[in-house]
Structures are given as structure tokens and as C-alpha cells.
Amino acid sequence: MIDGAKVPKRERFNPAKHLAYQRPERIVSMKDIGLEGAGISATAISEPFPLFTREAIAQMRAEIFSKDSLENCQYSSSFCKNMIRAMGPAIAPFIYDAWNSPEVLSGISEVAGIEIVPVFDIDIGNVNISFDDQTGTTTGDETAAEQVPAFAWHYDSFPFVCVTMLSDCEGMIGGETAIRTQSGEVMKLRGPAMGTAIVLQGRYIEHQALKAFGGSERITMVTSFRARSPFVKDESVLTGVRGISNVSDLYTQYTEYRLEILEDRIRAKRKSENYRAASKRSFDVDEIRVWLETQRQFIDAMLVEIYEVEDGEEE
């Protein structure tokens, strides 16, 4: 796998060559699954849609299985045995540039139904790897294969994720994404092919990936997203990433983006208050107290997430 991931020449991300975005044929809405009004967007989950070319996938795999990545970015948890994450722009410049590309973000935001950006660098391009016996051996029983979970039912830590397939799925059975509706019913969406992706509002939807059978490997890349606007609620938590991250780096990046949101909100509020005073309108006690309470809740949420972690602790 490592030798097979090598490419003749490393490239920088070029949307003209590496982007293959096409809007998905179907986007399931939050209303469709009984969760209208929950979350930050009307989009629940998309069907797989083309996102990256095969040339792009080859470059990504080369960075994932590079010496630097394997020596410095391997993680394991009870959720996934083999992960590569937190590669960053130094080890994985192609991957970093791809997920920060305006063209890529435009397409993903179109699917999400709201303008979104990566949550922070440490969660750009989280790679889940399974191979050989971990992917399973096909028995020809497609119904049975569809029922086996690759991951347990869960909610994500961040509002949206984009899951991209980096493996050739020809001959695979299963691999669907299952979501649970408000009524408790299970809805399954077909598995992706190489270079395709799904967008899921996973913070607010219980979901799981079903196991794939018949392939020698299954490699997916997961990048987490939040709303670009500081005025959209951000209910992100660190539960799913604290145990598989350098905690100092994680807390630094989490604090940075949350304080940036708070700073933008305070600047906007100060500007509106200056305008109110210049317009000779009375001070609105109730309104300012509601605003202050909202910001206090925002800070309180950070206090819940930031605490000392003992060595070896995993949630």
C-alpha cells in the first residue's frame, strides 16, 4: 500500500486539474428526516457526488503514506484502529490546499446549504484506514453485508463533515451511510466511489458507516466544517477528537477560532450600539441582556471543553 501510493511527481492543488465537483443528484433535508429546525442548515445528508479527480486522489494518497506522515501522524482509538490525522500544511500541502480552496469550499457549501469552512487545521483530512480482514471478505450475500457496521452509531463533534473515498471500490459490497430519523427509522444512502464524497450534518444526526466487503482496503478522508459566519450558532465539542489529538495543539486551535467568533460578535455589537446611540434611540436593556447571556453561554461551553487531560486518557 505504501509503495503503491508513491507518485512520480508531487504537485500543488490545482482546481482546474484536480477538482471534479458536480452537485449531487439528491440531497436529503432535515425536514425529510423529521429534524426540521435542528442544526445550522436545512441539509441533512447528500448522496455521493464527484469531488476530486483520480489525479487528486493519487496526490492525497502519496501524502498520507509518506514517511513523515506515517512517523508523526498515526493515531488509533476504540472507534478506528488505523488513522492518519493532523498532517497539516508542512506534511500534506496538497491536502491542506485542497480543503482550503475557494472552489472546493464553494461546492461543499452549496451542498451543505450554508457557507462553511474547515473547523481548524488539526481536523483537516482525518484519514480512516481499514484493509484485508478489516474490510471483510465478500460472501455474495449483499443483504447481510449491508447490515454490518464499520463504526458504531454516533454524533459528530462538529456541525458538518465531508467524507471522501480514497479507495477503488470496484467489487465492494456495502459501505453505505446509515442515518437515524427522528422517528427512529434507519435510512441508508449508497456507498461512495473513488473521488466522490458525501456531506453530512453529523453533529445533529445520529449515523454510522456500514462495513464494506470484497475490497483489499477502504480509505476515507473526513474533514470537519463549521459555519463561516460568526453569527451562526456553533455547538462544536471536542469529545470525538480529544483522545486522538495533541491536546496542546487542539486547545490552541479551538480557542483561536472560538475567540475569533467572539471578537467578531463583539465588534458587530459595538458598531450597532454606536449607531443606536447616534440615532438617539433608547438603550434596550432586555436586548443587550439577551445578547450578553448568549455570549456567556458561548464562553461557558468552552470551559466545558477545555480541561487537563491525563496521559493515556481516551473518551
Q: Is the pLDDT of residue 295 over 80?
A: yes
Percent of the chain with pLDDT strictly greater than 70: 90
Q: Cα-atom radius of gyration of the chain, to the nearest Å?
A: 21
Per the model's pLDDT, the better-predicted residue between 144 and 199 turns out to be 199
- Once rounded to an integer, what is the mean pLDDT over residues 40-57? 97
Average confidence score pLDDT of the chain: 90
CATH for 143: 2.60.120
Domain of 180, in residue numbers:
3-229
Q: Give the residue-averaged pLDDT of 255-264.
A: 98
Average pLDDT estimate for 135-153:
51
Span 184-206, pLDDT tens digits: 999 999 888 999 999 999 999 99
Q: What is the mean pLDDT of residues 22-45?
A: 97
Task: Say if residue 133's pLDDT is above 60.
Answer: no
Half-sphere exposure of 186 (CA within 13 A, CB side): 12
pLDDT at residue 145 is higher than 50: no
Q: Mean per-residue pLDDT for 165-170?
A: 88
Answer yes or no: is 21 within a domain: yes
| CA 91 and chain centroid, separation | 20
pLDDT tens for each residue of 89-125: 999 999 999 999 999 999 999 999 999 999 999 999 9
The answer, yes or no, to whether residue 5 has pLDDT greater than 70, is no
Nearest in space to 37 (alpha carbons), one of 158, 182, 236, 239: 182
Question: Mean pLDDT, to the nearest integer, of 42-67?
Answer: 97
Average pLDDT over residues 59-68: 95
- CA 86-19-11 angle, to 5 degrees, is 60
Q: DSSP assignment of 223-253, as one string?
A: EEEEESSTTS-----STTTGGGS-HHHHHHH
Is the separation of the CB atoms in 68 and 92 below 8 Å?
no
Check pLDDT > 90 for residue 242: yes
Instruction: Look at 167-171, 216-220, 297-301 and tell me which has the smallest mean pLDDT.
Output: 167-171
What is the rounded average pLDDT of the residues 250-261?
A: 98
Residue 151 above 80 pLDDT?
no
| For residue 141, pLDDT beyond 50 | no
Q: Is residue 143 a part of any domain in this protein?
A: yes
Number of compact structural domains in the chain: 1
281 inside domain: no
pLDDT higher than threshold 80 for residue 256: yes
For helices 285-305 and 247-278, the axis angle rounded to 10 degrees is 170
136 pLDDT band, cuts 50/70/90, is very low
CA distances from 129 to 83, 87, 192 (A): 6, 15, 15
* Residue in 106, 119, 80, 100 with CA at minimum distance from that of residue 250: 119
Confidence at 80, pLDDT banded by 50, 70, 90 = confident
As a whole number of angstroms, the distance between CA 43 and CA 28 comes to 6
125 has which bridge partners?
none
- pLDDT value of position 192: 84
